[in-house]
Copies of this chain bind each other. A is one copy, B any other.
Amino acid sequence: MIVGTEWSVDAEGCRAELLSDMQAVQRVCERIISDLDLQVMGEALWHKFPSPGGVTALFLLTESHLACHTYPETGIATFNLYCCRPRPHWPWEDRLADMLGAARVTVRFHLRGAQGDNAEGAFDSSDRALYGQEPSIM
């Protein structure tokens, strides 16, 4: 039984000053939320860690949740988007390159609640499938 799809996204080579800028991270999260027509419930949880100033953001959605963690010291930002209803493809690679300066983005996805090899996969910045096939979404 499939209860949702989760995208697990790792962006490398991001600009450190953007990863420690809560407003820059907020703009990315808000863009994901608005482009995919997600519904936020309540206030998001935000935390900025001491220097070098990594940021954590958690959004509770009617569709499930969105989480973001940034690591300015390594130039990495990670995202988890878990949706219990079909959503369109989001251009993680282009958007994260544009908004955070990401040089490489790896997107993994798997179906939650499901068993079997066809329940997961990954693709990289060039949209080349590393394995699996993205679930059919609208």
Contact = CB atoms under 8 A, between A and B. Distances in A.
Interface of A: 1, 3-4, 6, 8, 10, 12, 41-42, 45, 47, 56, 58, 60, 64-65, 67, 69, 71, 74, 76, 78, 80, 82, 84, 106, 108, 110, 112-115, 120
Contacts of A120: 108
B74 A113 contact: yes
* Copies of this chain, tallied across the complex: 2
Nearest to A60: B45
Nearest to A78: B112
Q: Point out which of A10, A12, A47, A64 has the most chain B C-beta atoms below 10 A from its C-beta.
A: A10
A10 B60 contact: no
Given A1-B12, A58-B58, A113 B80 contact: no
Main secondary structure of the interface of A (DSSP, over half): strand
5 nearest A-B pairs in the assembled complex, by CB-CB distance: A45-B60, A76-B113, A1-B74, A58-B58, A78-B112
A76 B64 CA distance: 14
A89 B67 CA distance: 23
